[in-house]
C-alpha cells in the first residue's frame, strides 16, 4: 500500500512521486517545486534582515567597548552577549539566503540604508542602553511583520525569524531591566 492510497494519509504525496520530483531541477538546491513563497522576495527581505543584524552587531560591539562608569563592566558584558547573539542571527540570515539560491550581501556600502535599525551615536551609558532598546523594539515589530508574511508559504524562514524574535524580546527585556535598575522606574509604560 502506498501512502497516496492510504486514506489516513491521503494528503501525502506518494514516495515514488517525491523521489522522481527530487531528481528534477537539481540546480534549485533546497528550493523545491512545493515552495509556496516568492524566492526573490524572500531573498530581498532576508538581505534587509542580514543588514539589520550586521548593524546590531556593530552597535553592540561599539557600545561594549565605549561604556564608562560604575556599572560599565557588567553592562559591557551584557552588550558583548547581545553582539554575539546578533552575530548568530546574521549568520542564520546569510545561510538562509544561500539556501534560497541568493548571495548574502555583506557589502558595507549602503548597509545603513538596508538596515531596519540605526547604528547610533554612542553617548553615556544610559543613552547607549536607550539606543539599543529602541533598536530592539524596531526589530521586534519588523520581525513580527516578516513572520506573518512568511507564514506557511516559507516555514523555514518563519521558524528562523521566530527564533530571532525570541532573542530580540529577551534583549529588550534585559535593556529595560538595566534602565529600571539605573533610573528606579520603568522606562516604558
Q: Please tell me whether 20 is known to bind a ligand.
A: no
DSSP 116: S
Q: Please tell me whether 82 is known to bind a ligand.
A: no
The enclosing H or E element of 11 equals none
Q: Please tell me whether 53 is known to bind a ligand.
A: yes
CB atoms within 10 A of CB 137: 18
Q: CB–CB of 188/134 below 8 Å? A: no
Q: Please tell me whether 171 is known to bind a ligand.
A: yes
Largest separation between any pair of C-alpha atoms in the chain: 72
CB atoms within 10 A of CB 22: 11
Cα–Cα distance for residue pair 108/64, rounded to 1 Å = 21
**Binding-site sequence positions:** 53, 89, 136, 168, 171
**Binding-site sequence positions for Fe cation:** 53, 89, 136, 168, 171
Amino acid at each position: 500500500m502506498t501512502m497516496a492510497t492510504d486514506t489516513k494519509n491521503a494528503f501525502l504525496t506518494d514516495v515514488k512521486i517525491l523521489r522522481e520530483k527530487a531528481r528534477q531541477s537539481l540546480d534549485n538546491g533546497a528550493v523545491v517545486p512545493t515552495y509556496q513563497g516568492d524566492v526573490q522576495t524572500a531573498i530581498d527581505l532576508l538581505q534587509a534582515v542580514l543588514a539589520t543584524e550586521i548593524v546590531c552587531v556593530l552597535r553592540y560591539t561599539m557600545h561594549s567597548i565605549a561604556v564608562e562608569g560604575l556599572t560599565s563592566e557588567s553592562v559591557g558584558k551584557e552588550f558583548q552577549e547581545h553582539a554575539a547573539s546578533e552575530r548568530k542571527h546574521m549568520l542564520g540570515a546569510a545561510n538562509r539566503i544561500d539556501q534560497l539560491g541568493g548571495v548574502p550581501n555583506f557589502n558595507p556600502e549602503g548597509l545603513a540604508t538596508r538596515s531596519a535599525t540605526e547604528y547610533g551615536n554612542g553617548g553615556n551609558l544610559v543613552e547607549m542602553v536607550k539606543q539599543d532598546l529602541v533598536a530592539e523594539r524596531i526589530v521586534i515589530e519588523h520581525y513580527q511583520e516578516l513572520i506573518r508574511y512568511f507564514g506557511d508559504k516559507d516555514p523555514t524562514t518563519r521558524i528562523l525569524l521566530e527564533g530571532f524574535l525570541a532573542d530580540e524580546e529577551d534583549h529588550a527585556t534585559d535593556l529595560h531591566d538595566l534602565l529600571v535598575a539605573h533610573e528606579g522606574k520603568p522606562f516604558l509604560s
